Amino acid sequence: VVSLEEELQKQGELKDVYEKLNSTNTELAKKLEALENDKLNLLKVKDEAQATAAKLDQRKLILADLKDTAELLTDISTKKRRLSESINSLSSAQSVFNQTDQDYQHTRLQFDRLRKIWQQGQSAILASTLKADSPCPVCGSTEHPKPATSEEYLPSEAELNDLEKRVLELETELNAKRADVSSCEKEVEAITAKIEVLSGEVVEKTEINSENISEKIKEAELNVRESDFARSTLETSLEFLEKLS
């Protein structure tokens, strides 16, 4: 027979067990709740990490595009300077060509005029070589009662040959200067066309120009660093939460 005292002792022990079980259940419930919260946080951090990684990739693309645009603008600026130099070269070449052409035309006209005078004055030139009592090289007579004369200056054949040589030299020089002008014109056209192509590649980026491109690149680089830091922080948090789970 169990005494009353023993019964009370057993009931007390059972009460202690019950309270311990109840406390354990409460702790387990809290841990389960905390675990669920950790899982939710883990999912949230994963989503944030993915979003941040995507944002980082986008900002890297923007930065790369800005750097490409900066290179295009630099290339355009360089070619514009080269175009200015080429235009100056063309202007100089045209001036030299015009002067050479003027010299050529003047010398050519002078040669044509003197040659015509020389051709028309052959009789006077021949008469100027006649000597008294010497036979005429044309008719053979030793008398020269009325030799031909000319009121104009009659050039010698040597003078005509020298002038003709000068005409040929100027003509050669003129052709060379014409080739120089043509080469400069082609260079100006080629550079102008290249500038138009390069300008077309940045025409849609109307807010970007050579004055603000450096600031925009600095801003994009800062954005990339911020996104990279945020991604790194989230990855560290994700590793910690995954270990807890």
Q: Is the pLDDT of residue 220 over 80?
A: no
Please give the model's pTM, rounded to 2 decimal places. 0.57
Q: How confident is the model at residue 21 (pLDDT cuts 50, 70, 90)?
A: confident
Tokens 């950790």 belong to residue: 38
Interatomic CA distance for residues 10 and 17, integer angstroms: 11
**Neighbour tally for 196: CB within 10 Å:** 10
Q: How confident is the model at residue 69 (pLDDT cuts 50, 70, 90)?
A: confident
Reported as a single tens digit per residue, the pLDDT across 179-201 is 999 999 999 999 999 988 888 87
Give the total residue count for the chain.
245
CB 66 within 8 A of CB 220: yes
Residue 150 DSSP label: -
Q: Where are the alpha helices (DSSP H) in 121-156?
A: 122-127
Residue 33 DSSP label: H
**Token pair for residue 50?**
């993915």
Give mean pLDDT, residues 123-128. Answer: 70
Reported as a single tens digit per residue, the pLDDT across 75-93 is 988 999 999 999 999 999 9
Interatomic CA distance for residues 123 and 105, integer angstroms: 29
**Neighbour tally for 221: CB within 10 Å:** 14
What pLDDT is recorded for position 116?
87
Query: 84-94 burial by CB neighbour count: b if 16+ within 10 A, else e?
Result: eebeebbeebe
Interatomic CA distance for residues 104 and 97, integer angstroms: 10
